[in-house]
Amino acid sequence: MHTINIHEAKTNLSRLLEKVAAGEEIVIAKAGKPMARLVPLAGKAQRRKLGVFKGQLGVPEDFDAPLPDNVLALFEGH
């Protein structure tokens, strides 16, 4: 992590942003006291591919059948 003062940050902002984009973190200080930190943004989320499990999963015939009494009692706190 590299620390610079505000004047240097204003003067060299483009160069600092290039360093940050490359993964470096930079602390900006005022009178030697850290005030802010420049960090790279998280990577862009990739789009999800639909249909990855097509044909591999199935829903059982009794999917929506009533629960057995003993399981239902557990849900009701008995």
Domains of the chain: 2-38 (3.40.1620.10)
42-69: average pLDDT: 88
Read off the pLDDT of each residue in 42-59 and give the average, rounded to a whole number. 86
Q: Cα–Cα distance between 75 and 15 in angstroms, integer?
A: 60
Q: Which residue from 22, 27, 34, 28 is spatially nearest to 6, judged by alpha carbons?
A: 28
> Beta-strand (E) ranges in 9-77?
26-30, 33-38
Question: What integer pLDDT is reported at residue 78 of this predicted model?
Answer: 85
pLDDT band at 41 (very low <50, low <70, confident <90, very high): confident
Q: What's the rounded mean pLDDT across residues 38-57? A: 86
